[in-house]
Amino acid sequence: MRIIFMGTPDFSVPVLDALVEAGHDIAAVYCQPPRPAGRGKKDRPTPVHARAAALGLEVRHPVSLKGAQEQAAFAALNADVAVVVAYGLILPQAILDAPQHGCLNIHASLLPRWRGAAPIHRAIMAGDAETGICIMQMEAGLDTGPVLLREATAIGAEETTAQLHDRLSGMGASLIVEALRRLPELAPEVQPEEGVTYAEKIDKAEAQVDWSRPAAEVDRKIRGLSPFPGAWCEIEGQRVKLLASKLAEGQGAPGEVLDEALTIACGTGAVQLLRLQRAGKSAQDPNVFLRGFPVPKGSRL
């Protein structure tokens, strides 16, 4: 099929690779424009831009798709379908209608649960037992379109957003190839009105750990916000990111260090910290972290 691919971050790259490997004709790749990054603040292409350029594909990165000229250029590609995954721009109706089979979105949740910007983070933070991938026919509403294909997966007890992100990216790549192969036979499933939830964009202000909360909630926050923006607490007056954890045995005052393995008491129960990062340092396992930054048993975070 002749496909327009629309995506921007790392999550989208395996999908582009899968479409190319499946033999589809990529008419053009749309992504967000390069933006300043790094110490020199030089414009850096997005992951999809870099991968598409390496594959020799045409790359377009308009700042908006609302103008008649951009919409005409999109329509002129005469695509059979557009595949959209974490693109980052709202698609006007003229864009949605341009390809013969419209625009298909790869969404990282089991719709209608977790429509919106941060479905992977929110699923872990909410304690969901499973999540998955939906291939959705796009319409004007926010992730409201009918679902063509879906696949569920269990969320691991110690899984972080980074780990689940990579698993779901691979699942999305496989599922969209299957969806395109079976497109004529797939029956759109209208999303039910019951069970709709919204995955609000992650706000850095919600990243500070409150040790008075139950251990299960603290653990989910740490794993759900890893690696970005990273849950954090203060240890000996320094802000430290907490990037991995698991539930542990123990009890004490909230924030109390219970042992030499960085088991921390919560409002009820305890969590063990498995990955930490000080400002300006790389992420470290507890044994390495404690060699350079002792945290005595009995101290309070």
Instruction: Evaluate whether 188 touches 175 at the Cβ level (below 8 Å).
Output: no
Average pLDDT, the chain: 96
Structure tokens belonging to residue 117: 């910007």
145 is written with which tokens?
A: 């379109």
Residues near 6 by Cβ (< 8 Å), separated by ≥ 6? 29, 30, 31, 82, 83, 84, 85, 87, 91, 103
Mean pLDDT of 116-142: 97
The arithmetic mean of pLDDT across residues 10-16, rounded, is 98
Residue with tokens 């990111």: 241
Instruction: Give residue 94's identity as a one-letter amino acid code.
Output: A
Arithmetic mean of pLDDT, 156-183: 97
Model confidence band, residue 27 (pLDDT cutoffs 50, 70, 90): very high
Rounded average pLDDT over 71-86 = 98
Residues 135 and 105 sit within 8 Å (Cβ to Cβ): yes
66 neighbors 72 (Cβ within 8 angstroms)? no
